[in-house]
């Protein structure tokens, strides 16, 4: 049975965890780590994905990301596929590098953001890669050093985090560091990395009855938040799923999306499918890709094969198409 798609939306915050297959190393050297970070930074900036926290451990890594214009699954696919190809070629190995799908927990931002930043940034200390908090301040393979001002990552969001500790940079860094230090004795926290929300909550009925109790649920690699937050997220995901089913039930498919694009942009349908860099063709292709991915739920990889373009190129088309639709107030259907 195929796995369900991940719950995601623009502005959603995800705690991402990725392990090497059979818990083997995915970083052999600083050169590996540097290449990974370079690739990560380029993808995050390209997709306008916000990174609040991260840490690299020899056999796994953590990221705390906020979805931008591109689904988190696409961001991670680009990162993991690209790095695995580079790593295998560099180390003359073959086969899978990572264990299964990446683990992603959608998090309630106001309740868990700072706790997750602290937990993720303390990973090198828990893994004994550094001896103490002083060493962690300068450790280049955790986002903590950027928040402390020791290194600069253009792709890491530091101001938003530090503002939660005050408006004066120096005192905010000091209070942030004290907050991180207070978490050292907490050790590993299962409540931030796993659990079984939907099963333990009794499915939809359990969520409906438990939502008002403000319980903090643990997720089955999907959601971390109180009952109200979980209910809202699942309702939004269900609404999107129902919308896609309704469109398909009405006969909406990729060809009809192309026809709708041609009508709105007053061009021939053949031009929607055409190759080239003429602006009206690029715009039409972008609008088609946006609606195909967002409204119909098609995979970027399938569109890439259709247009003979890479997934990063399709990803850019989706983002461009979203801007066109919002600017010109285009809708896929008149209803």
Domains plus CATH for the chain?
A: 13-191 (3.30.70.1290), 194-248 (no CATH), 250-328 (1.10.1750.10)
Higher-confidence residue of 249 and 264: namely: 264
List the single range of 132-141, 159-168, 172-181, 219-228 with lowest mean pLDDT: 219-228
Burial 55-90 (b: 16+ CB within 10 A, else e): bbbbbbbbbbbbbbbbbbbbbbbbbbebbbeebeee
Structure tokens at 18: 């990725």
Higher-confidence residue of 332 and 238: namely: 332
List, for residues 22-40, the tens digit of each pLDDT value. Answer: 889 999 999 999 999 999 9
Residues 7-23 have a mean pLDDT of 81
Could you give the CA distance from residue 68 to residue 65 in angstroms, rounded to a whole number? 9
**Does the predicted model carry a pTM greater than 0.85?**
no
Confidence of residue 215 (pLDDT cuts 50, 70, 90): very low
Residue that the structure tokens 């907050």 belong to:
179
Could you give the CA distance from residue 98 to residue 89 in angstroms, rounded to a whole number? 15
265: left (phi over 0), alpha (psi -120 to 50) or beta: alpha
- Checking DSSP bridges between strand 223-226 and strand 103-107, what pairing results, if any? parallel
Any idea of the CA torsion for 216, 221, 222, 225, to the nearest 10 degrees? Answer: 10
Going by C-alpha positions, the residue among 286, 307, 247, 240 that lies closest to residue 5 is 240
Residues 89-101 have a mean pLDDT of 89
Q: Is 262 within 8 Å of 272 (Cβ atoms)? A: yes
Residues 181-206 have a mean pLDDT of 54
List the single range of 127-141, 153-167, 200-214, 272-286 with lowest mean pLDDT: 200-214
* Number of Cβ atoms within 10 Å of the Cβ of 95: 7
Q: CB-based contacts of 81: which residues, under 8 Å, 6+ apart? A: none
Confidence of residue 2 (pLDDT cuts 50, 70, 90): very low
Q: What pLDDT was estimated at residue 250?
A: 64
Residues 288-313 have a mean pLDDT of 80
Q: Is 289 within 8 Å of 318 (Cβ atoms)? A: yes
Rounded to the nearest 5 degrees, what angle is found at the Cα of 84, between the Cα atoms of 81 and 89?
Answer: 130
């Amino acid at each position: 049975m195929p796995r369900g798609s991940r719950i995601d939306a623009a502005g959603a915050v995800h705690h991402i965890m990725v392990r090497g297959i059979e818990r083997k190393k995915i970083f052999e050297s600083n050169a590996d780590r540097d290449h990974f970070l370079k690739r990560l930074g380029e993808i995050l900036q390209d997709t306008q994905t916000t990174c609040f926290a991260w840490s690299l451990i020899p056999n796994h890594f953590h990221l705390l990301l906020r979805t931008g214009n591109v689904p988190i699954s696409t961001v991670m696919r680009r990162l993991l596929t690209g790095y695995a190809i580079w790593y295998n070629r560099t180390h003359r190995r073959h086969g899978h590098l990572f264990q299964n799908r990446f683990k992603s927990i959608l998090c309630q931002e106001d309740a868990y953001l700072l706790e997750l930043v602290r937990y993720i940034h303390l990973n090198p200390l828990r893994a004994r890669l550094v001896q103490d908090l002083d060493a962690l301040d300068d450790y280049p393979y955790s986002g903590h050093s950027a928040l402390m001002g020791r290194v600069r990552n253009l792709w890491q969001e530091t101001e938003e985090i530090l503002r939660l500790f005050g408006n004066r940079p120096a005192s905010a860094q000091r209070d942030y560091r004290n907050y991180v230090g207070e978490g050292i004795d907490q050790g590993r926290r299962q409540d931030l990395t796993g659990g079984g929300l939907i099963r333990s909550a009794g499915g939809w009925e359990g969520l409906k009855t438990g939502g008002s109790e403000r319980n903090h649920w643990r997720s089955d690699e999907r959601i971390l938040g109180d009952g109200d937050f979980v209910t809202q997220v699942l309702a939004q995901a269900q609404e999107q799923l129902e919308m896609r089913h309704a469109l398909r039930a009405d006969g909406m498919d990729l060809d009809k999306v192309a026809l709708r694009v041609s009508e709105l942009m007053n061009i021939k349908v053949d031009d929607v499918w055409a190759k080239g860099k003429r602006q009206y063709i690029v715009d039409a292709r972008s609008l088609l890709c946006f609606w195909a991915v967002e409204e119909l739920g098609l995979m970027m990889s399938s569109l890439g094969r259709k247009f003979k373009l890479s997934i990063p190129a399709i990803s850019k088309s989706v983002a461009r198409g979203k801007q066109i639709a919002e600017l010109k107030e285009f809708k896929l259907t008149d209803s």
